[in-house]
Amino acid sequence: LSVTRLFPLQVIFDHEGIFLHPTPDEGSPDQDLLVSGSLRQDSSSVVEWAQCPGEKSQSRQLLETQQSYETEWDMVNAVSFKKKNYTNGEGDHERSRWAFSVNICDLKSITVKKEGWTFLILQLKDSSSSIPALHFHQGGSREFLDSLRRFALLTESPEDETRLLVSTPNKALSQSFENLLDDNNFGLVHKFKRDPYVATLGGFSKVTNYIYDALRGTEEQQQRPPEEVADLLGEVIPGLEINQQEEPGFEVITRIDLGARPQVSRAEPVSADDWSKHQDPEGRIENGAALRQRIFKGGLCHAVRREAWKFLLGYYPWTSTLEERKSLQKAKTDEYFRMKLQWKSISEEQERRNSRLRDYKSLIEKDVNRTDRTNRFYEGLNNPGLTLLHDILMTYCMYDFDLGYVQGMSDLLSPILFVMENEVDAFWCFVSFMDQMHQNFEEQMQGMKTQLIQLSTLLRLLDLAFWNYLESQESGYLYFCFRWLLIRFKRELIFSDVLRLWEVMWTELPCQNFHLLVCCAILDSEKQKIMEENYGFNEILKHINELSMKLNIEEILQKAEGIYLQIRSCKVGVQFSPPLCEPGHHGNVTPIQLQGAADNRPQNSCRGVFTS
């Protein structure tokens, strides 16, 4: 039974007014010929261009008309197209002369050019074939590229910033992609920024294969000289001896055992009395370092969270007085409602001309209606919590219009709004959290790729046998951890455990990348079953997906802290490079290390050798 019979094709993109400018080399009798047509893409990932039915090709007269106008909208308003009825099949012949279709998997790259309008040059993997450039005289190029991102990863070429390299999944995956993601069985952050790389968060093996392909990149992206690979590995774990003389194609870590993992205990949550004892008469937090350590070891009781999270997320400075916080909150309230007024006051006519805002609004409305609806704070119809969720996300689009809204962000806001129960406070805490998470949601997904590389490096250091087993099952990229990292375990834990985990991570103790150690702790608990049952690729993915809502957060935090202490006792420091961003500075990066003082460690207790 074919995929297309199971899942009817859907139209993803359909736009008229896409011109070809055929040259004599392409069979045009007139070097100034322009052919108007429509561009269509469906859910089978096939892109098709056809001359508009009943339209006559315009030649020199149209070209001369358009050249008298400098801007695209002038040209569009000035040019009219005359209809001509074709008879005896001549129209079909004429229209089919320039028509073409191409599967996205056959694309190698797309070059974006501008000459008063945007035109795209599609390069095929088969160099013996070529496609005419597509000229978007009436707009639509951005929307077309967005539609391609639902089926392919488009990455900027390092050699040419106008060229986008295309990396695609297999054809069967492309054909069924939309339907797989709409299936409630996957229940995850799907169709993420209309990019299949992100939309693979919760699917089974077919879907997750795309992450594997996306991480591997195109052949052009994969080709790195051995010495460059060695340099990159040396940056990831400084202090390791890089040996390029061994047999190529293998990566080997030779080291003495890390030693016994220390036993770690958890403490009771910080109570309201404990919290108040850390404030001076003017409301300043005293001994903030010790308080953060207490929060790391035990978390917070719920009564304290509304105030404490504002400090942990950087909304309130730790050294601020109560009066200073009141003034700050007043100023932030004014700023928030000014931004909210911006989108609230947009007329329907304005919105009709703002496609990006329409897209953001549509995604937000769709996501809000399915975010944490089983939680009492959001359940039921006409719930005011849903209205606040919607309004905060729309206002964030005004705050950061370049990023706007990307599916998955509602998952990050929901717990914050639940705790704050206040629109303004929730917004600014969400802004602080997004400063930390910004790279996860950017179009190039560099933050996600970096974290997966870091996680693979950590696991390789901690348990080489397990890492080798995963690698043998084509799971060494750990792409099944993608959802964990993207939205910080929001879909893996029960709601109350999400609150506990997040406040622990926000202390930035014992290291800023503690969430990677949480991943390692979960994998460490599951490795025995995975290896003893000899799970393959599909079984590993299915097993990890089925862990959702079955994890014990206190056990995980204990193990994650133990892993940190175990690594710290090793002589080799683990430095992540390129690192994740510091909170509040998502555009600037600084090295983040899992490394302790060396004076308490035995000499040469850990040694690594990599071969490229």
The residue-averaged pLDDT of 187-194 equals 37
Q: Provide CB contacts within 8 A for 482, sequence distance 6+.
A: 200, 201, 208, 211, 448, 452
**What is the average per-residue pLDDT within 314-328?**
97
Q: How far apart are CA 15 and CA 70, in angstroms?
A: 23
* Coil/strand/helix, residue 113: strand
For 290-293, the CB contacts below 8 A with 24+ separation are 292/507, 292/508, 292/509, 293/507, 293/509
17 in Cβ contact with 81 (< 8 Å): no
pLDDT at 97 over 90: no
93 vs 491: CA distance, rounded Å: 54
Top pLDDT among 211 and 523 is at 523
Residue appearing with tokens 């460690």:
601
Q: Is 68 or 481 the better-scoring residue by pLDDT?
A: 481
The closest alpha carbon to 581, from 411, 438, 389, belongs to 438
Say if residue 154's pLDDT is above 80.
yes
Q: Does 84 have pLDDT greater than 60?
A: no
- Nearest CA to 481 out of 177, 175, 215, 154 is that of 215
pLDDT reported for residue 606: 33
pLDDT exceeds cutoff 90 at 81: no
**For 152-166, 216-230, 314-328, 598-612, which range has the lowest pLDDT when averaged over its residues?**
598-612
pLDDT of residue 78: 33
Alpha carbons 553 and 221: distance in angstroms, whole number: 39
Q: What phi and psi, each to the nearest 5 degrees, are found at residue 268?
A: -75, 150
Mean pLDDT of 294-305: 97
Q: Would you state the pLDDT for residue 568? A: 87
DSSP-assigned letters across all residues of 283-351? SPBSSHHHHHHHHHHH-B-HHHHHHHHHHHTTSS-TT--HHHHHHHHHHHHHHHHHHHHHHHT--HHHH
Nearest-angstrom CA–CA distance, 432 and 5: 47
Residue 281 — φ and ψ, nearest 5°? -55, -25
SS3 category, 156 = strand
Q: Which residues, 6+ apart, have CB-to-CB distance to 61 below 8 Å?
A: none
Q: Centre a 10 Å sphere on the Cβ of residue 66 and count the other Cβ atoms it contains.
A: 21
Q: Give the pLDDT confidence score for residue 138 in this predicted structure.
A: 79
Least confident window among 97-106, 384-393, 551-560, 600-609: 600-609
**Comparing 325-334, 514-523, 569-578, which segment has the lowest mean pLDDT?**
569-578
Residues written for the chain: 612
Residue 70 burial (C-beta neighbours within 10 Å; 0-12, 13-18, 19+): exposed
Cα(482)–Cα(502) distance, integer angstroms: 17
Question: Using the 8-state DSSP alphabet, how is residue 580 labeled?
Answer: P
Structure tokens at 284: 């300043």
Q: Are 57 and 20 in contact (CB under 8 A)?
A: no
Instruction: Of 496, 326, 328, give the one whose Cα is nearest residue 419.
Output: 496
Which two three-digit tokens encode residue 100? 């073409």
| Per-residue burial over 202-215, b = 16 or more CB atoms within 10 Å of its CB, e = otherwise | bbbbbbbbbbbbbb
Strands 35-42 and 118-124, by their bridges, are unpaired
**57 confidence band (pLDDT: 50, 70, 90):** very low
Which residue has tokens 């003893």? 532
Dist CA 488 CA 513 (whole Å)? 12
Split at pLDDT 50, 70, 90, the class of 32 is low
Residue 10 clears pLDDT 80, i.e. is over it: no
> Quick one: pLDDT at residue 463?
93
Angstrom distances, CA of residue 590 to CA of 49, 238, 445 = 47, 15, 18
Dig out the tokens for 394 from the structure.
Answer: 């729309």
584 pLDDT higher than 80: no
Q: What is the DSSP letter of 56?
A: P
Query: What percentage of the chain carries pLDDT values higher than 70?
Result: 67
Is pLDDT of 245 > 50?
A: no
Query: For the whole model, what pTM was predicted?
Result: 0.60
Quote the tokens at residue 297. Answer: 């070891």
The pLDDT score that the predictor gives to residue 157 is: 86
pLDDT at 102 over 60: yes
Q: How confident is the model at residue 17 (pLDDT cuts 50, 70, 90)?
A: confident
pLDDT at 59 over 60: no
> What pLDDT score does 33 carry?
65
Q: Which domains does the chain have, with CATH numbers?
A: 8-24+31-53+98-177 (2.30.29.230), 276-443 (1.10.8.270), 444-571 (1.10.472.80)
**445 conformational bin, left if phi > 0, alpha if psi -120 to 50, beta if neither:** left
pLDDT at 488: 97
> How high is the pLDDT of residue 196?
34
Which residue from 466, 467, 472, 471 is spatially nearest to 457, judged by alpha carbons?
Answer: 467
Q: 54: closest CA among 94, 19, 21? A: 94
Which tokens go with 60?
A: 């020199």
Residue 385 scores a pLDDT above 70:
yes
Tell me the per-residue pLDDT of 436-469, one tens digit each, with 9 for 90 and over.
999 999 988 888 989 999 999 999 989 999 999 9
For residue 308, pLDDT beyond 80: yes
Task: Report the C-alpha gap between 77 and 62 in whole angstroms.
Answer: 13
Cβ distance 461 to 574 under 8 Å? yes
Question: Among the listed ranges 27-31, 377-381, 520-524, which one has the minimum average pLDDT value?
Answer: 27-31
Contact 482, 448 (CB under 8 A): yes
Per DSSP, 513 falls in state T
Rounded (5°) CA angle 441-538-2 = 90
User: How do beta strands 241-242 and 609-610 pair?
Assistant: parallel
Q: Distance of alpha carbon 47 from its chain centroid, rounded?
A: 25
Q: What's the pLDDT score for residue 293?
A: 97
Confidence (pLDDT) at 256: 46
Q: How far apart are CA 331 and CA 337, in angstroms?
A: 10
Sole residue written with tokens 């016994």: 260
pLDDT at 146: 85
Averaged pLDDT for residues 412-432: 97
**pLDDT-based confidence at 168, cuts 50/70/90?**
low
| Whether the predicted pLDDT of 167 surpasses 50 | yes
Closest to 180 measured CA to CA, from 192, 193, 169, 190: 190
Element housing 457 (H / E): helix 446-462
Is-contact 554 543, C-beta < 8 A?
no
Tell whether the model's pLDDT for residue 23 goes beyond 90. no
Q: Collapsing DSSP states into helix, strand and coil, what is residue 270?
A: strand
Mean pLDDT rounded to a whole number for the chain: 75
Residue that wins the pLDDT comparison between 82 and 254: 254
Cα–Cα distance between 257 and 61 in angstroms, integer? Answer: 78
Over residues 506-515, mean pLDDT = 95
Average pLDDT (310-327) is: 97
Span 495-506, pLDDT tens digits: 999 999 999 999
